[in-house]
Structure 1
Amino acid sequence: MSSASSGRPAGARDRDSAGRARNARPRDGLGRPLPYGADGVPRQPEGVVRTPEETVAEAQALLDAGRPFHAHEVFEDAWKSGPEAERALWRGLAQLAVGLTHAARGNVTGGARLLRRGAGALEEWVADTGRRTPHGMDPSALVTWARELADAVEPGAPHAVDAAAQAPRLSGGR
């Protein structure tokens, strides 16, 4: 679709109120961009500062709804706004959500790679901090979930995984 047919002037870029480039295209439940004017799912607002408990609850609701890309955005906000000591935790969780997103989109190689990267990040964070249940979550169970899903999809799943059916339980794995 050309800029002219999208209702935007040729060469125009989506910008936020501060002038930063932002993609305003609607997205589907797995975060794939849709054509301008299409009905998409509500996007997660960027830069929201939440308590860790709010982050976990909102991300879990999105994962349960089969929207791991959007859960990744919630984790990314926590990673960017949270205390330095927890950034690796939230970044690892974001990687798990993106890994599930890729597996659900049918990119099993990328999905498996990101699931393993996120699992490694969580293991490293626990080893570095000694915290076994941050904010009620069970990183050990999440590591197991991520590695099992990566092993299941890596050989080439016959089709994309169902993101909602494969979603982890943040407070205890699946």
Structure 2
Amino acid sequence: MPDRDRDEQGRARNARPRDALGRPLPHGAVGEDRAPEGVVRAPEVALAEAQALLDAGRPFHAHEVLEDAWKSAPEDERELWRGLAQLAVGLTHAARGNDRGATTLLERGASAIGPYADRRPHGVDVAGLAGWAHTLAAAPATGRDPVRSAPRLRG
């Protein structure tokens, strides 16, 4: 069995190229540019980058940006960022046709961001996002392309 891809700290990393929905492609294939991992971004930058990726039909890659924000967020905002990352993964599952995974992650993400509705940190449209997530979770496979209806993170 060949050596696994590893980063500088020895953690496993999959260097295979990925498509727009984050699915691995064969080695040597041309894939989508990936968001660099472990980047600390200001909240406004993270939201803008994630929104651009969502708008481009790349929710898996948006999730990576939001996950970095979650890992570097102050304690009182961690659940917000974790929930936003889960919403992006839920959208990824919906786009891949994994209705069960989509429903689970969309509902989990909506629950995580819900307590922030009154505060709207960084202008995040918590109520709008939660409503969008519940609607998509209720009917993820209705024949429409869920990525085309990606939400606006800020309202």
- Aligned mates of 1:34, 1:136 — CA distance in 2: 36
Among 27, 48, 53, the alignment partner of 2:44 is 53
Q: Deviations over 1:32-56 (max 9, x none)?
A: 0011100000011110000000010
SS at match of 2:32: coil
Residue in 2 that maps onto 1:85: 76
User: Aligned pair 1:62/2:53, yes or no?
Assistant: yes
Confirm or deny: 8 A CA contact 2:83 2:108 kept in the other structure: yes
- Aligned mates of 2:98, 2:71 — CA distance in 1: 27
Across the aligned residues of Structure 1 and Structure 2, the Cα RMSD in angstroms comes to: 1.4
Among 5, 18, 22, the alignment partner of 2:9 is 18
Q: Deviations over 1:63-96 (max 9, x none)?
A: 0001001111101001101111111000000010
Among 117, 120, 136, the alignment partner of 1:149 is 136
Structure 1: gaps (5+ residues): 1-9
Residue in 2 that maps onto 1:28: 19
SS at match of 2:139: helix
The 1:160/1:21 distance shift into structure 2, 3 A limit, reads: farther
The 1:53/1:42 distance shift into structure 2, 3 A limit, reads: same
- Aligned mates of 1:19, 1:13 — CA distance in 2: 10
Among 125, 131, 140, the alignment partner of 1:138 is 125
- Aligned mates of 1:139, 1:160 — CA distance in 2: 24
The residue identity in structure 2 corresponding to 1:167 is A
The residue identity in structure 2 corresponding to 1:139 is V
TM-fit CA distance, 1:166? 1.5
User: Aligned pair 1:75/2:66, yes or no?
Assistant: yes
Aligned length: 155
Larger Rg: 1
User: Aligned pair 1:161/2:145, yes or no?
Assistant: yes
Residue in 2 that maps onto 1:170: 153
TM-fit CA distance, 1:11? 2.3
Q: TM-score, normalised by structure 2?
A: 0.94
Q: TM-score, normalised by structure 1?
A: 0.84
Residue in 2 that maps onto 1:113: 104
